[in-house]
Structure 1
Amino acid sequence: MIEIFEAIKQSAIEIKHLIETGDTGKSELENSTGDTQLKLDIQSDKIIESIFSKVPSIKQIVSEEQEAVVPLHQDGQYLIAYDPLDGSSLVDVNLSVGSIFGIYEDEFTGKNLIASVYVVFGPRVEMVVAQTDVKMYRLLNGEFKFIQNIKLNEKGKLNAPGSTQNCWAPYHKQLIDDIFNDGYRLRYSGGMVPDLHQILLKGGGLFSYPGTTDRPKGKLRQLFEVFPFAFVFEKAGGQAIDGFDRVLNIATTHIHDTSPCFFGSNEEINRVKEVYKANEK
């Protein structure tokens, strides 16, 4: 596992340089979810695949930017699903973006996730590693140095409501309104990685991306985004659900499956459960 973390560190340093110097324009390609791929997405994907291809313990990889699983080393133990540059469209306006990695064994399902890592590219580059606990490292003078453990409080103060509001269910809109009326502060950049990172570092709150009328199964992808962050939030003492059940128990039928998702500290997630259970059809 250590060699995988070292590979992720190397990729982060190279992607940092790419963000600083690379072309932020659109390519002529689309990914599997129909999003136009930015040149940074494609280049970041190539950087990670090239580095992972040199790690013997990695059996297979699958990227949010690719259509299929890529075999690497037949005798490898680990499977890695990753989003090479989540929020890449924010680079040209100089907002924070990130890379997300889920490390699995045997097969790509939430129950088989054994570790997750994400990297935030902002004013500072920070890497968060979740195994038995959650640790944050910062890139200082070309090396990642341990900074702190991350632990959520039982109740937070931040609210990051995602998706298109006019497609929300009425009870979801009421939930979000009630949370704001209780004094929670809006923190939403449109980047999953920085928004969830902020909730984790500030001690708690709620990030939501529900099922909507236009996307009943949500927008965020299970293997590359939802599951890795669910693992982080659980190891930090919080929860991650799809509105009703634990996210990591959701079945995956295709590598690009999506899911509604709610991440947060316990009080906020329990509040979501109550509202969604009361409105369950």
Structure 2
Amino acid sequence: MTEIFDAIKQTAIEIKELIVNGDTGKSEQENATGDTQLKLDIQSDLIIEKIFANVPSIKAIVSEEQEAIVNLHEKGKYLIAYDPLDGSSLVDVNLSVGSIFGIYENDFTADNLIASVYVVFGPRVELVIATEEVKMYRLLKGKFEFIQTIALNEKGKLNAPGSTQNCWAPFHKQLIDDIFNDGYRLRYSGGMVPDLHQILLKGGGLFSYPGTSDRPKGKLRQLFEVFPFAFVFEKAGGQAIDGKQRVLNIPTTHIHDTTPCFFGSNEEINRVLKVYKENE
């Protein structure tokens, strides 16, 4: 799998240059779930597909920006689902964004996920690889150098509540209010990658993107966003749930399926489970 990690590192270097020098405007296209694509989304997707096409061990890929699975190498072993530039609308206001990769075997389902990688494009470019451990690397003088292993504490201090608040269930709003009343600090940029990265590096907390009245099945995509980060959080000693069950136990019926999701350290996730169980 080393050649895949090396390929992802190369995509990060090229996307970094694209972010610095590329066109941040909107395209006239929509992605598979109806979102207007930025030119950066399309160009990042092309960079990743071009680089992955040269990796013989990759059998097929699927991108959040495309309708269907793309077959690459018939004799390949691995399947990769990726979000080429998550939070791309934040580039225009110079906030951090990221890329997310889930590496699967056999089929694009949670129980076939064997590794995940994400990249944060901020003041520094950082790349996190989760296999049996969660390791962070930083781009220094054109190369990614190992910085640290990431592990969560049992309890954190940060709270990142996502989705449209006026569509929250009353019990979910009360949960978030209670967490803040207990002294947690708000940390929410609107970018999934930087917000989850901050929780991981600061030792814990809660990121939530619940089901809402306008989106009962949530907004975040299973294969490209939710499952890869669930893998990271579990390997770092935390948990990822949909409010009632482990995220990585959720079946996938379509490559663009979404799900509610909560990521965090154990105390916060157990708190969510208790509240959601009481309000079934």
Q: Same fold (TM over 0.5)?
A: yes
Report what 1:45 is aligned to.
Answer: 45
Letter of the structure 1 residue corresponding to residue 160 of structure 2: A
Amino acid at match of 2:46: K
Superposed, 1:208-219 pairs within 5 Å as 208-219=208-219
- 1:71 alignment partner AA: N
Aligned to 1:82: 82
Query: Which amino acid is the alignment partner of residue 265 of structure 1?
Result: S
Distance 1:212 1:50 in 2: 37
The ranges of structure 1 where at least 4 consecutive aligned residues each deviate by more than 2 angstroms after the TM superposition are: none
Partner of 2:25: 25
Query: Aligned with 2:81: secondary structure?
Result: strand
Give per-residue Cα distances to partners, 1:217-258, cap 9 Å, x unaligned. Answer: 000000000000000000000000000000001000000000
Equivalent position of 1:243 in the other structure: 243
Partner of 1:228: 228
Please give the alpha-carbon distance, in whole angstroms, between the structure 2 residues aligned to 1:34 and 1:65.
10
| Deviation for aligned residue 1:156 | 0.1
Query: Per the alignment, in what secondary structure is the counterpart of residue 55 of structure 2?
Result: coil
Partner of 2:135: 135
- Residue type matched to 1:20 in 2? V
Aligned pairs for 1:1-281 (under 5 A) are 1-280=1-280
Aligned residues: 280
CA displacement at 1:33 relative to structure 2: 1.2
Q: What is the distance in 1 between the residues matched to 2:141 and 2:15?
A: 16
Q: CA RMSD in A?
A: 0.2
- Tell me which amino acid in the other structure corresponds to 1:263: F
Secondary structure of 2:155's aligned partner: coil
Alpha-carbon shift at residue 32 of structure 1 (Å): 1.2
Q: Identify unmatched segments of 5+ residues in structure 1.
A: none
Write out per-residue CA displacement over residues 82-128 of structure 1, whole angstroms, 9 at most, x where no aligned residue.
Answer: 00000000001000000000000000001110000000000000000
CA distance in 1, matches of 2:39, 2:243: 35
Give, in whole Å, the separation in 1 of the partners of 2:32 and 2:214: 18
> Match of 1:120, SS?
strand
SS at match of 2:226: helix
User: What are the Cα deviations for residues 50-86 of structure 1, in whole angstroms up to 9, with x where unaligned?
Assistant: 0000000000000000000000000000000000000
Equivalent residue letter for 1:278:
E
**How far apart in 2 are the matches of 1:87 and 1:33?**
15
Q: Write the distance in 2 (CA, Å) between the matches of 1:270 and 1:133.
A: 22
Distance 2:32 2:209 in 1: 20
State, as a whole percentage, how many aligned pairs show the same letter.
85
CA offsets per residue over residues 154-198 of structure 1, 9 Å max, x none? 000000000000000000000000000000000000000000000
For residues 83 and 192 of structure 2, the distance between their equivalents in structure 1, rounded to whole angstroms, comes to 11
Q: Which amino acid aligns with 1:127?
A: L
TM-score, length-normalised on structure 1?
A: 1.00
